[in-house]
Amino acid sequence: MLVLVIVIMFVIVIAIVNETMFSTLGGTIMNRTLCGLIVLAIATGCGGQASSPPAQQPAATTSAKKERLEIGVVPKGISHQFWLTVKAGADTAGAEFNANIRWQGPDKETEIDKQVNILEDMISRRVDAIVMAACDENGLTNVIKKAVEAKIPVITIDSGVKSDLPVTLVATDNVAGAKAAAHELARLIGNEGEVGLMPFIPGAATSELREQGFKEALKELPGLKLVATLYCQSDVAKGMNVTQDMMTANPNLKGIFAANEPGAIGAAQAIKAAGKAGQIKLIAFDASDEEIQMLKDGTLQALVVQNPFQMGYQGVKAAIDAIQGRPVEKRIDTGVTVVTMENFHQPDIQKLLYPLGK
Amino acid sequence: MRSILARHSPLVILAGLCIVVAVLSPEFRTADNLKSVAYRTSVVGIIATGQILVILTAGIDLSVGSVAALSGVVACTLMKNHALPVPLVIGSGILTGLICGLLNGFFAAKGRIPPFIVTLGMMMAARGGALLLSGGRQISAISDTFAIIGGMRGWWIPVAITLAIAAVFSVMLTFTRFGRALYAIGGNLNAARLSGIPVDRMRIGAFVLCGMLAGFAGVMLASRTGVASPNAADGGELDAIAACVIGGGSLMGGEGGCVGTLAGALIMNVLVNFCNLKNINPAWQKVLVGALIVILVYYDNLRKRRAGLLKE
């Protein structure tokens, strides 16, 4: 039993050291591992130690409180390059304006409840401001209300909420971005033919707005016929499956618009496996390393690239303006750029594609 | 005749479902689509084959989805950073699964902790491990030879591997001492112990094989999608458990088999495929699949009870 206690303490010490030394990864991952190990460890004993280890955790987090402003940045997920670029932007702004950035997010974009918990913890911790991308446009309104009542300004980035409480929304105009995608797809398939749409999660604001923008643009493009709308659930394997089904149900399919990165990778794999690379034109949002590789090897013809670095940077900047009482615009657009192999090598495009360096 | 039908009811249900779907959707009947369904069932089919071994002993393994993700991440990290040859890459994935399975089995059998709890812990720890190791990023798994097992050089390869695994384990369950012991343990643990079966070792064996298969499935998934994602196979454990149960397995132990389990996995994928082909709203897909799981298992139980096969 003593051994178990030592093991638990050891894990916690590693977690604390890890968090202070490499705060880049965010606490969530570590917490997760920690929880798992504690469950395992407690389970092997008789459960008598259950009360002590969790009590150690808050001590580890509060000890870091300092004089500098502390800004909590909560992405929708932590495992896509998009969010890592947001983090780079937030960190840059943090360094520039002398603020500590506390980066924490749910593992997956579907985990609304986990995101609420993270925000509640940040409110209890009394961070100076919260910069967040909402996993759901309705599900986060209550916790945002709680933050505002606690006098913590909330800045939304990337995905907003259906509420006036946030100071601002720093995001891509997703409707305009999806419209640009539809027009580019029309150009690629010669303004005529059947097309498929792959949004990611029904109910998620970004997904819905891109779906809306694409469908609105199709009204201006009478040659294009939308034959399928299937969701990839932000999962590569599911994106692959639905693309195969789309191609099976519609043998004359000429183009697909994948509204996010996992969907794009899945669609590209399915198109490649079917030997139809280049025949079915694929256009996708975002620009991860995999997507750029697919653009280069021709499975994917165009990328609608957002500016996640600016979202992180402008989000933190707006937070600091709000804390210090300066006015902030209600909507800050970070813009999109359509990247094809034609403009790929231009220096400004390269900087947009590789904000973290190659 | 009746009892034969009841014993193989998952296959009968699968056949019936395929006929109905084929009538309703001409696209379903195309060779390409059937290939695609068979191909996408490979990963969950392999995970479920491992799961049924544990379920037979009246256990459950909730960690398989996370273990698959961890194994994929381990294998692809080694491939990318150390240029390991492909057989070793696959081996490292299986080894990762083996270690996780061994830990699960040890704590469940020797530590006398309910498998639900042990594997719940492993589910969280392995997912966290995958996130830690990958730094939260997807790891690119693009390599021409590595792409083979995922079916990028021929859809039939993963399908053949899955069928071979199911066949081997089916034979093992029916004809070996180990296989029969799993049924005996699930049927009545104490009776099995008293009759001289080394219960602990057999249970550990089931968890180890389950982990190894999950590890292999994780590598196959990474090969198929071209990236090893720390969030891969999210909810994979539930799909696998559903496949086992639809395929005639009982969470009380002692019932089920590999062929039925594979049929169960196919039933689920045929349903989802049908919904996609018909462009049905994803919310309805979930309702439909959920309802069908319960209805199928209900009818299966009814048939078995009539045929006098159900353990009361």
CB contact under 8 A, B138 and A249: no
3-state secondary structure of A23: helix
| Complex ipTM more than 0.90, yes or no | no
**Nearest chain B CA: its distance from A80 CA (Å):** 6
Which residues in chain A touch residue B155, judged by CB atoms under 8 angstroms apart?
273
Q: Which residue of B has its CA nearest to A288?
A: B138
Alpha-carbon distance B270 to nearest alpha carbon in chain A (angstroms)? 11
Please tell me the predicted confidence (pLDDT) of residue B235: 87
- B121/A81 Cβ within 8 A: no
Alpha helices in chain B (DSSP H): 2-7, 9-24, 31-56, 64-82, 86-105, 115-134, 156-175, 177-187, 189-194, 199-225, 236-246, 258-277, 282-306
Q: Which of A298-312, A344-358, B137-151 has the highest mean pLDDT?
A: A298-312
- The bridge status of strand A69-74 relative to strand A99-103 is parallel
- Checking if the pLDDT of A354 tops 90, the result is no
- Report DSSP state, residue A331: E
Tokens of residue A252, six digits: 């004359």
Residues A70-74: what's their mean pLDDT? 95
Comparing CA positions, the residue from B229, B274, B211 lying closest to residue B134 is B229
> Hey, are the CB atoms on B232 and A237 less than 8 Å from each other?
yes
- Measured in residues, chain B has a length of 312
Q: Is the pLDDT of residue B305 over 90?
A: no
Does residue A27 surpass a pLDDT of 50? no
> Mean per-residue pLDDT for A320-338?
93
pLDDT, tens digit, 9 for 90 and up, residues A78-131: 877 789 889 999 999 999 999 999 999 988 887 888 898 899 888 988 899 999
Angle in degrees, 0-180, between the axes of helices B31-56 and B199-225, rounded to the nearest 10: 160
Q: Does residue A226 register a pLDDT over 90?
A: yes
List the structure tokens of B150: 């995922």
User: Is A107's CB within 8 Å of B131's CB?
Assistant: yes
List, for residues A191-225, the tens digit of each pLDDT value.
Answer: 999 999 999 988 888 899 999 999 999 999 999 99
CA atoms of A132 and A171, how far apart (whole Å) = 11
Task: State the average pLDDT for chain A.
Answer: 84
- Neighbouring CB atoms inside 10 A of B156's CB total 13
* Residues 6 or more apart whose Cβ sits within 8 Å of residue B94: B71, B212, B215, B216, B219
Domain at B36-306, CATH class: mainly alpha
| Side-chain half-sphere CA neighbours of A30 within 13 A | 22
* Residue recorded with tokens 């998009």: A82
Question: So where are chain B's domains?
Answer: 36-306
Closest CA to B32 of A330, A338, A243: A243
Contacts of A262 in chain B (CB under 8 A): 229
Residue A324 has pLDDT above 50, yes or no: yes
- Spell out which residues of chain A touch residue B123, defining contact as CB-CB under 8 Å: 36
pLDDT at A40: 54
Least confident of B43-57, B93-107, B174-188, B295-309: B295-309
Q: In the prediction, which pLDDT does A43 show?
A: 53
| Residue range A256-273, pLDDT digits in tens | 999 999 999 999 999 998
For the stretch B20-44, what's the b/e string if a residue is b when 16 or more beta carbons lie within 10 angstroms of its beta carbon?
ebbeebebbeeeebbbbbbbbbbbb
- B144 burial via Cβ count (<10 Å: 0-12, 13-18, 19+): exposed
Q: Read off φ and ψ for residue A151, nearest 5 degrees.
A: 65, 30
| CA separation for the pair A32, A54 (Å, rounded) | 13
Give the CA angle between residues B202, B206, B210 to the nearest 5°. 165
Could you tell me which residue, B41 or A17, shows the higher pLDDT? B41
In total, chain A counts a number of residues equal to 358
Residue of A nearest to B40 (CA): A241
What's the token pair of residue B140? 């690119």
Q: Under an 8 A CB cutoff, do A289 and B140 touch?
A: yes
Q: Tell whether the model's pLDDT for residue A358 goes beyond 70.
A: no
Residue percentage of chain B with pLDDT more than 70: 96
Distance CA A26, CA B213 (A): 32
Q: To the nearest whole number, what is the mean pLDDT of chain B? A: 90
- At A41 the pLDDT is 54
Q: Is B214 a residue whose pLDDT tops 70?
A: yes
The residue among B211, B286, B307 whose CA lies nearest residue B7 is B307
A131 - beta bridge partners?
Answer: A73, A155
| Tokens found for residue A240 | 């692959």
Chain A to chain B, count of Cβ pairs less than 8 Å apart? 154
Residue showing tokens 């994780």: B218
Q: Confidence class of residue A356 from pLDDT cuts 50, 70 and 90? A: confident
Of residues B196 and A204, more confidently modeled: B196
CB-CB neighbors (< 8 A) of B107 in chain A: 40, 43-44
To the nearest whole angstrom, how far is the Cα of A241 from the nearest Cα of chain B?
Answer: 7
Beta bridge partners, A225, equal: A194
> Is B158 a residue whose pLDDT tops 60?
yes
* Mean pLDDT within A25-44: 54
Contact B152 A272 (CB under 8 A): yes
CA distance B138 to B69: 11
pLDDT value for A109: 81
Our CA-based measurement puts residue A273 at a distance from the nearest CA of chain B, in whole angstroms, of 6
- What pLDDT, on a 0 to 100 scale, did the predictor assign at position A26? 46
Of the given ranges (A167-171, A303-307, A349-353), which has the lowest mean pLDDT?
A349-353
